[in-house]
Structure 1
Amino acid sequence: MMNSLYRDKENFLKYLDAIRGYSPLTIRSYNDSIDTMLRESEIEISEGKVRINLMPLRLKIASLKSKSISCKLSAIRSFVKYLRLEGKDVELRGDESIKIPKTLPKPIAHEHILHALEHAEPTAKLAIILLYTLGLRISELTHLRLKEIDQGWCRIHGKGSKERDVPILKNIAELIGEYQLHSPSVEYVFELQGEKLSENSLRYIITKAFAKVGLKVTPHQLRHTYATELLNNGARIADVSELLGHASMATTQIYTKLGNAIKMDHYRKSHPLCNNVEDSQC
């Protein structure tokens, strides 16, 4: 009977790929989480009903970080929801959520990005510029097609097969054209020997470019920086939310908190009564 759940898992992963448009990296994470659930949980199947007790699993992963545990539980809940939509009677126990401490995004100083660009190889240079000026996820950069960059706009294929149009400056589009002269591709902006560059390949190229100048920077931090710069320079939060492809404006709100944190830090460093005093005093 357990074999049927493994078959259901394979069908679920195909659904995430073909219907939801999830990235290979995300699908692999879901696969690992569900495999762990099937292996470590107490599962009883009788009279057409599936009973899953996650408590043994939670004891097994208790030493992990809160965010890792939450991600695993989220993947399992999604799988169970899929099973129910497929008409299966599933009872899930021990899936209570855990609190995750909120962390602010970590943008990169503009001058640090410029410094990295000065020393970056052509592929890394263009990838960094596109992430920084379009606010893309690394998965979106991987799927960026040449034919979808036209007349000052760029069509982005985001999470869950959602599409959005993002403005692209003329000089940035020209950089893509110049890159194509030396590294021509057929369909995607970034290809190697006729094949689209993978997320992991682009991620490695970008992090290596920053490491060359002594900085530890992830591609997603460039997306954070894009959002932060727009908001700090007067862009409307509704517009930024749409440009980022956020499903809810509440997700974008975190960047306004970041802006307030930066302003408070500048205030403490600049005001004469705030120099060399504790935070509680100022």
Structure 2
Amino acid sequence: MLEAWGNHLTHARRRSPHTVRAYVATAARLLDHLGETDWARLATLESGALREQLAARRQAGIGNVSAARELSALKAFLGFAREQAGASHAAPPRLRAPRVKKGLPRPVTPDEAVNLAATVDEDASAPWIGARDRAVLLLLYGAGLRIAEALSLKGGDAPLGETLVVTGKGGKQRMVPILPIVRAGVEEYRARCPWPLDRDAPLFRGARGGALAQGMVQRAMARARGVLGLPASATPHALRHSFATHLLGAGADLRSLQDLLGHASLGSTQIYTKVDAATLLDVYRNAHPREGNS
């Protein structure tokens, strides 16, 4: 059953290898939970079984975002089971995805950033488009680029090295480090892209081969945050804010952060000290046993 599911994802759906691994692992956990089963039983599985499976995963320590992705994978697997059992007409189990508590705009967490990048890949209309959108989001979160900066890259900028010279607002240039996962994401997109990536042509292409528009990335992320139950504040630009906030929280100094972000003045960078302090306070309020009762 797992082999059939993996083959379907790989060949019929043309999902990326990391998506196939994640979805097959999710299906394997469900089958282990159910014990001996077949396609017919899976086709008529009710919401209670999924709820039990997700409860077990929550006890294992996954958060709301990962639980939402797990539910999405389970629903896809059960849809495939209904096809295998010849019961496509059967009603799918109804279960709401867990929601992240909404509040003031905040940076996405590292886990949310990774899940957003994976989800835009999984939900794209074509494998190369999924790889493209994932690569763009990795550049925003992994290198702190503005969306316009990422989309201004040319074919000649790739393959990316350990650093990248970026031209930002006002023509100001800066050098940013490129993490291995970001380089790999861009290379996966280049390998899948059906359009010739000439040196002076846009690196990121739209479905018809023209330059990729910002709106397409924004819509892809909007769909992904809907799947994951994230607030409307989880935009592409929020990934750049998260890049800055997480670096500051890890001990980066403001001057270095200013250079990485391409801010003209230190004052623009100092806002992240307030964001990071607010994030730490939120964690404290949620975790401290006495604070929650005050």
Shorter-normalised TM range:
0.5 to 0.7
The answer on 1:221 being equivalent to 2:235 is: no
Once the two structures are TM-superposed, the CA of residue 259 in structure 1 deviates from its matched residue by 1.4
Amino acid at match of 2:173: E
Once the two structures are TM-superposed, the CA of residue 124 in structure 1 deviates from its matched residue by 2.1
1:190 counterpart residue number:
204
Instruction: Give the Cα–Cα distance (whole angstroms) in 2 for the partners of residues 259 and 147 of structure 1.
Output: 36
C-alpha change, 1:144 and 1:207, in structure 2 (3 Å) is farther
CA contact (8 A) 1:105 1:255 kept: no
CA contact (8 A) 1:153 1:166 kept: yes
Instruction: Give the Cα–Cα distance (whole angstroms) in 1 for the partners of residues 279 and 185 of structure 2.
Output: 32
Question: Where does 1:115-194 land on structure 2 (aligned, <5 Å)?
Answer: 115-121=115-121, 122=130, 123-149=132-158, 150-183=160-193, 184=195, 185-186=197-198, 187-192=201-206, 193-194=208-209
Cα root mean square deviation, aligned: 2.1
The answer on 1:262 being equivalent to 2:279 is: yes
Structure 2 residue matching 1:195: 3-state secondary structure: coil
Amino acid at match of 1:162: K
Report sequence identity in percent: 34
Gaps of 5+ in 1: 1-103, 278-282
Amino acid at match of 2:217: L
Q: Per-residue displacement from partner, 1:137-162 (whole Å, max 9, x unpaired)?
A: 11111102232354311121211111
Q: Per-residue displacement from partner, 1:44-93 (whole Å, max 9, x unpaired)?
A: xxxxxxxxxxxxxxxxxxxxxxxxxxxxxxxxxxxxxxxxxxxxxxxxxx
More strand by share: 1
Instruction: Give the Cα–Cα distance (whole angstroms) in 1 for the partners of residues 220 and 287 of structure 2.
Output: 38
Instruction: Name the TM-score, length of structure 2 as normaliser.
Output: 0.54
Instruction: Give the Cα–Cα distance (whole angstroms) in 1 for the partners of residues 241 and 272 of structure 2.
Output: 8
Query: Which stretches of structure 1, 4 residues or longer, exceed 6 Å deviation after superposition?
Result: none
Gaps of 5+ in 2: 1-103, 122-129
Instruction: Give the Cα–Cα distance (whole angstroms) in 2 for the partners of residues 263 and 171 of structure 1.
Output: 27
C-alpha change, 1:270 and 1:199, in structure 2 (3 Å) is closer
The total of aligned residue pairs comes to: 174
Instruction: Give the Cα–Cα distance (whole angstroms) in 2 for the partners of residues 175 and 213 of structure 1.
Output: 21
Instruction: Name the TM-score, length of structure 1 as normaliser.
Output: 0.56
2:269 counterpart residue number:
252
CA contact (8 A) 1:124 1:209 kept: no
C-alpha change, 1:172 and 1:267, in structure 2 (3 Å) is closer
